[in-house]
Amino acid sequence: MTDEIHYLTADSLAVLRAEYDKLNNKTIPEIAKRIDEAKQQGDLSENAEYHQAREDMSWARAKISELDQILQNVKIIVKSEDSKVVSVGNTVVVKVNGKEREYTIVGPQEVDITRGYISNESPLGSALLGSRIKDRVDVVTPAGKQIYEIVRIK
């Protein structure tokens, strides 16, 4: 496990905590009950319910471990009052290829390209971080090198 910081909004943190609690307090006990019931049926070598329950338990424990690591290393995104420099949590209006686009820089767990939410770890997100209005940022994309001009920082 790594101690990298995970950037989240307060809303996303609440969602992850709820998921963590549900896994710990409901899902795991339900799976444990299924495993116990399958064991009581006897021969486990050909018991599909037992094998499925064991797979489900492995998945649930791995998910809990992942969520635990995130929750222990979370940093809440707080919008900066200093909108002169792009940071995590800012919405940035850029001009690329003559068109304006708007992106909000979030942590990797909150990426939603349909809403314009990009990761601070993505090539574009990391290139924009630390930039100022009127800066030009070069980003290598699958379509080739693109130049993004910072128009506004919200």
CATH code for the domain of 102 = 3.10.50.30
Query: Which amino acid makes up residue 88?
Result: V
- Looking at 49, 76, 103, the residue that finishes a domain is 76
Q: What angle separates helix 10-22 from helix 48-72, to the nearest 10 degrees?
A: 150
What is the chain's length?
154
Q: Is residue 142 part of a domain?
A: yes
pLDDT tens digits for the chain (154 residues)?
Answer: 467 889 898 888 999 999 999 999 999 999 999 999 988 887 777 788 899 999 999 999 999 999 999 999 999 987 766 678 999 999 999 999 999 999 999 999 899 999 999 999 999 999 999 999 999 999 998 888 999 999 999 8
d(CA 150, CA 85): 10
Give pTM, 2 decimals. Answer: 0.75
- pLDDT at position 141 is 82
Give me the number of domains the chain comprises: 2
Q: Is residue 62 part of a domain?
A: yes
Are 49 and 103 in a shared domain?
no
Are 11 and 72 in a shared domain?
yes
Token pair of 54, please?
Answer: 């064991």
Are 68 and 118 in a shared domain?
no
- pLDDT at position 26 is 98
Other CB atoms within 10 Å distance of the CB of residue 126: 15
Domain coverage including residue 102? 91-153
